[in-house]
Amino acid sequence: MKIDSLLDVAWSKGKPATQWLKIQTHERVKGSTWATDNEAVMPAITQILDGIGAPITREVEFFVWWDLPSLTPLLGTNCWARYPEAFNAKSVGAGYCIPSTTFIFYEAYQQWYPKEGFLEKYPNQWDKYGIAAVAAGEVAHFAQQLYGERFGHNAGNFYPAWLREGPSVLFSSLAYAKYANIPYSTVRNLALRHQGNYSCKYIPMTDLLMFATSPSTCEYSGGFLAVEYLVAKYGDLLAPFRYLESKIPGNGERCSNPDSICRSSYEAVIREIYSKDVDAWHAELSAYVKKWALG
pLDDT of res. 295:
54
Residue 195 CB burial class (10 angstroms; 0-12, 13-18, ≥19): buried
Residue-wise pLDDT for 145-181, tens only, equals 999 999 999 999 999 999 999 999 999 999 999 999 9
Are 26 and 66 a contacting pair, CB within 8 Å? yes
* Arithmetic mean of pLDDT, 20-35: 97
Spatial distance between the Cα atoms of 286 and 280, rounded to a whole number of angstroms: 10
Rounded average pLDDT over 186-213: 88
How many other β-carbons are positioned within 10 Å of the β-carbon of residue 128?
19
Say what the pLDDT of residue 138 is.
Answer: 96
Cβ atoms of 29 and 65 closer than 8 Å? yes
Residue 200's pLDDT is 87
* pLDDT tops 80 at residue 289: yes
Q: Give the tens place of pLDDT for each residue, 75-129.
A: 988 898 888 777 776 778 999 999 999 999 999 999 999 999 999 999 999 999 9
Per-residue pLDDT averaged across 235-262, rounded? 94
Q: At what angle do helices 278-292 and 218-234 cross, to 10 degrees?
A: 110
Please give the share of the chain, as a percent, with pLDDT higher than 90: 83
Question: Taking 60 as the threshold, does the pLDDT of residue 132 lie above it?
Answer: yes
Question: Exposed, middle or buried: residue 111 (CB in 10 Å: 0-12, 13-18, 19+)?
Answer: exposed
DSSP 8-state assignment for residue 79: -
Q: Which of these, 158, 145, 152, 159, lies nearest to 247 by C-alpha position?
A: 152
Q: Phi, psi (5° rounding) for residue 94?
A: -150, 160
Q: What is the pLDDT of residue 149?
A: 96
